Amino acid sequence: MSDKVVLAYSGGLDTSVAIRWLKEKYKLDVIAVTIDVGNEKDFSDIRQKALRVGAVKAVVIDAKKTFVNHFIFPALLADAIYEGQYPLATALSRPLMAKLLVDTALEEQASFVAHGCTGKGNDQVRFEVSINALAPNIKIIAPAREWGMSRQETIRYAKRHNIPIPVTVASPYSIDENLWGKSIECGVLEDPWAEPPEDTYTWTKSTTKTPNEPNYIEIGFAEGIPVSLNGQEVDSVGLLHRLNELAGEHGVGQIDHIENRLVGIKSREIYEAPAATVLLQAHQALETMTLAKDQLRFKQKVAVEYADLIYNGLWFTRFHQDLAAYVRNTQRFVTGTVRVKLFKGNSSVVGRKSPYSLYNLGLATYDKGDKFDQSASVGFIHIWGLSARNQAEAQLLSQNESPPNLSVTKRTKKKKGRLLNESNSRTLSAGGQ
């Protein structure tokens, strides 16, 4: 009796070839598992294709709701954006897929799990670290990393074994997509100087084709989670679908990024993330209204750590659990509504309100109704500046030094742009002796 391997099956060239290759190389029965995280695919056709190619069983799992509620929204609460640009769409889907592959392997009593990643990207790390964290005893096989075939050799292998070649193989791009975003790479995009051709983007319109009037939308949040759109409650999956449509219509969500991969390579990545762009922006705007200054400053540091651990495949770690607990606690009062303007490729927050707002008009206004006691500022400045004044008295005035001269003086050197003499420059840059 053959042992079994659970294969993460996309229906593409590599994973289709992997079904036959795993049977040839390892004498394993292949159980193909396809996971729907919001991909625009014919999953019935993909399942049938896996069986035709040679899988003993093919399973399609609808994981959209789980993906949004347990992976996307926690990342949204953390404001997780890798290197300030990438909303982590593909990276977020991998730990979920790894969990479902492990679950299937345990149910089917399979000793192996396989994925279609190459040895050059980040996904191999995300899959394997997650699988090892969830089931250390399951063995992992990476066919595309092992077989050593080029793209053309893989195509020839498929033809030789009558494996259907997807139409997308003819596409110049490598594409991965889910509800949180779409990643596009390869082809002309590998030249960082080349502007992405218009056909690169399919979710977002070119600004030359977007409406000439802006669209204003209102997003309601409850404890950091988006729950309504334009005053109407909407389920989590439906909300992302609708925001992708609305923001994409106005060209919002195009990202062109030189990215630092985990394996040490710089990669030019193109992303489309209309819903993610708008929701992250709106969520951050509501936080500025409901979190205190120190909370915001520290949470920004946590956001960088959170984004890095997602990108680096460390979702199933105690470190993530610790950060997630902190993030969740910060969201107790992040409730309210944010108004966003969509227009010509841009989304901008133009209004926000919350029952827990820390914005106090009586303190902020300069008009009638000002409640701020300006006379208290004298004492505040005296105490706040005490350290600076004390240091000046002890170290500056005691040495009979003059304060820095900020006036423009005659140039003492011919170097272009030098406006201060050498002595004053030294004083200003070093803060004196």
Which of 146-155, 284-293, 361-370 has the largest mean confidence?
Answer: 284-293
Taking residue 24's Cβ as centre, other Cβ atoms within 10 Å add up to: 11
CATH 3.40.50.2000 holds for 176-291+333-364 = no
DSSP states of 257-278: EEEE-TTS-EEEEEEE-HHHHH
| pLDDT, position 416 | 46
Nearest alpha carbon to residue 248 among 217, 275, 224, 270: 275
pLDDT > 90? residue 400: no
Confidence of residue 413 (pLDDT cuts 50, 70, 90): very low
What digits encode the pLDDT tens for the residues 218-249?
999 999 999 999 999 999 999 999 999 999 99
Residue 267 has which token pair?
Answer: 């990669």
Confidence of residue 433 (pLDDT cuts 50, 70, 90): very low
Confidence of residue 402 (pLDDT cuts 50, 70, 90): low
Confidence of residue 267 (pLDDT cuts 50, 70, 90): very high
- Residues with Cβ < 8 Å from 260, sequence gap 6 or more? 83, 266
Q: 């909407």: which residue's tokens? A: 234
User: Is residue 363 left, alpha or beta, with left meaning phi > 0 and alpha meaning psi from -120 to 50?
Assistant: alpha
Residue 189 has which token pair?
Answer: 């995009």
pLDDT > 50? residue 418: no
What digits encode the pLDDT tens for the residues 157-193?
999 999 988 755 556 788 899 999 999 988 889 999 9
Mean pLDDT over each residue of the chain, to the nearest integer: 90
Alpha helix (H) residue ranges in 236-317: 236-249, 274-290, 293-311
| pLDDT, position 332 | 98
Cα–Cα dist 306/260, whole Å: 16
Cα–Cα dist 418/410, whole Å: 9
Taking residue 325's Cβ as centre, other Cβ atoms within 10 Å add up to: 9
| pLDDT, position 106 | 97
What's the pTM? 0.88
Q: Known catalytic residues?
A: 14, 94, 123, 174
| pLDDT, position 195 | 94
| pLDDT, position 40 | 80
> Domain map of the chain by residue range?
4-170, 176-291+333-364, 373-402, 403-433
Cα–Cα dist 257/26, whole Å: 39
Confidence of residue 397 (pLDDT cuts 50, 70, 90): low
What digits encode the pLDDT tens for the residues 26-60?
999 999 999 999 988 889 999 999 999 999 999 99
| pLDDT, position 187 | 84
Cα–Cα dist 302/334, whole Å: 17
Lowest mean pLDDT among 354-358, 362-366, 416-420: 416-420
Percent of the chain whose predicted confidence (pLDDT) is above 70: 90
Confidence of residue 366 (pLDDT cuts 50, 70, 90): confident
| pLDDT, position 372 | 79
pLDDT > 80? residue 377: yes
For residues 313-318, give the mean pLDDT: 98
What digits encode the pLDDT tens for the residues 277-315?
999 999 999 999 999 999 999 999 999 999 999 999 999
CATH number of 4-170: 3.40.50.620
The phi, psi pair for 137, rounded to 5°, reads -85, -10
